[in-house]
Structure 1
Amino acid sequence: MTSVVEVAVPAADLALAETFQRTPGATVESMQAAAADGDAALSVLTVEGGEDVERAVDRDATVEAATALATLDEECVLRVDWTAPTAELLRVLHPNDGAVLEARATDGTWWFRVLFGERAMTEDWHRECRDSALRVNVESVYGPTTTVWSRETGLSEKQYAALESALRRGFYEVPRRVTLEELAAEFDVTHQALSERLSRAHRAAISNVVSGAFFATRVE
């Protein structure tokens, strides 16, 4: 059965931890990633946060070289050659038996969405990640039914449930009728985890409305 896995990986375990320390508001999204012939891997990244972030990426210990391909206001497209150790970790996160639908990073955490043809492949990949000393936190696993539903909304089921509850219980009213901690208790998660879930849901929902695009590959 086809599965989509959403995972979070600390930047300290993977890449650009120094960048996020120097520029906490930075956002990085991979447009394309491919293994190079040598010991490094090449990524094309969209970086938001201005020239400070661009300089931080270029100085990051996990980066061999960074070249600006395009710049527009606060956004820059960079070609990044990773160091050999970082490239090897990225290869682990880009499985041969699966496809990375999305890779992005913000607030010191990388977020990956990976598609697998069979559920067993998901388990093998997660085991390989752990063997590589990567702290991979599985946020959600869902199948084709959820993916079809998500095409219409841009949201995962957990994100939709969080937004629905927040709206119903008055989280968005002024003043609020419910706190983030109270909402988190409903879902049996920490308030930080729910805050991040709502943030990703807001981004997906707003992007869906603004672009009007078909979000089959943009669910977070």
Structure 2
Amino acid sequence: MAVIAHLRVPADSFELGRILELEATGTIELENMVPLGEKAVPFFSVSDAVRESFEQNVENHPSVERIVEVTRHDDERLYSLDWNIGRDVFLQGVIELQGQLLSATGTVNTWEFEIRFPTHEALSDFQEYCSNAHIPLEVGRIYNPVRPGTGMWYGVTEPQRETLMRAVQGGYYSIPRRMSTQDLADDLGISDQAVTERLRRAIETLTENTLIAMEEELAEEFEQPQES
């Protein structure tokens, strides 16, 4: 069964981190990693505050063929990078172990990744791979699979989470019930109809993206032909 792991690595311990070096403050958001032929072209956003020195550092890096500004919005710019991914041991490990890069954020010293691996064993193999490659790897939160794109909250929005958690903590689902729908509505400052709708959507989304998603994934694994 697949797992999603939050990982942290020093910026200078992998090639893309060294390419996208920041001299001062600021962050880099990796927006996407698009495979084109044998290359993987990253798209990432950078704030205008660090743009000038950032562009110069990237253009001068020996692994970079070119950097292209794709769009700009407010004080951020979106770039694509044409580079030699074969020099990046860290990302090669992600690819080899069938990891799916969900998000990545870089600062001056550190990059944080959210990566989906097909199994717990694949994540363990990746940790061993990084250890053998002398890449310092800090593993943070690990959680079980959800449907793609739902994130660590399983697709439940912040208002839905707040309503559901307050309902559980306040005894809305206790027997006997210690909190009514109106009590919960007054506590949140919304209508009782809004409370009912938030709870319905939260429970439906949570069930779809956890229990049902896991059941479907187990069924798919069971249906796959076994290797002889």
How many residue pairs match? The answer is 154
The structure-2 alpha-carbon separation of the partners of 1:104 and 1:98, relative to structure 1 and needing over 3 Å to count, comes to same
Q: Deviations over 1:90-111 (max 9, x none)?
A: 2223455331111221132111
Q: Deviations over 1:85-142 (max 9, x none)?
A: 5444322234553311112211321111011232112111222222333222112212
1:127 maps onto 2:128 in alignment: yes
Query: Which residues of 2 match residues 1-220 of structure 1 at below 5 A?
Result: 1-14=1-14, 15-17=16-18, 19-22=20-23, 24-38=24-38, 41-50=40-49, 51-52=51-52, 53-144=54-145, 147-148=152-153, 151-153=156-158
Q: Secondary structure at the match of 2:93?
A: helix
- The amino acid of 2:78's aligned partner reads V
Work out the CA distance in 2 between the residues paired with 1:147 and 1:21.
Answer: 28
CA contact (8 A) 1:26 1:49 kept: no
The structure-2 alpha-carbon separation of the partners of 1:128 and 1:148, relative to structure 1 and needing over 3 Å to count, comes to same
For normalisation by structure 2, the TM-score amounts to 0.55
Structure 1: segments with no counterpart, 5+ residues:
155-213
- Residue 198 of structure 1: aligned partner: none
- Residue 225 of structure 2: aligned partner: none
Work out the CA distance in 2 between the residues paired with 1:72 and 1:116.
Answer: 33
Work out the CA distance in 2 between the residues paired with 1:59 and 1:151.
Answer: 43
Q: How well do the aligned residues superpose, as a CA RMSD in angstroms?
A: 3.2
- 4+ residue runs of structure 1 moved beyond 4 angstroms? none
CA contact (8 A) 2:4 2:143 kept: yes
Work out the CA distance in 2 between the residues paired with 1:131 and 1:8.
Answer: 17
Q: Rg bigger for which structure?
A: 2
* Identity fraction in percent: 19
For normalisation by structure 1, the TM-score amounts to 0.57
Work out the CA distance in 2 between the residues paired with 1:82 and 1:134.
Answer: 21
Structure 2: segments with no counterpart, 5+ residues:
160-204, 210-228
The structure-2 alpha-carbon separation of the partners of 1:36 and 1:86, relative to structure 1 and needing over 3 Å to count, comes to farther
Query: Which has the higher mean CA deviation after the structures are superposed, 26-35 or 58-67?
Result: 58-67
The structure-2 alpha-carbon separation of the partners of 1:85 and 1:121, relative to structure 1 and needing over 3 Å to count, comes to closer
The structure-2 alpha-carbon separation of the partners of 1:18 and 1:58, relative to structure 1 and needing over 3 Å to count, comes to same
Work out the CA distance in 2 between the residues paired with 1:30 and 1:18.
Answer: 13
Q: Secondary structure at the match of 2:82?
A: strand
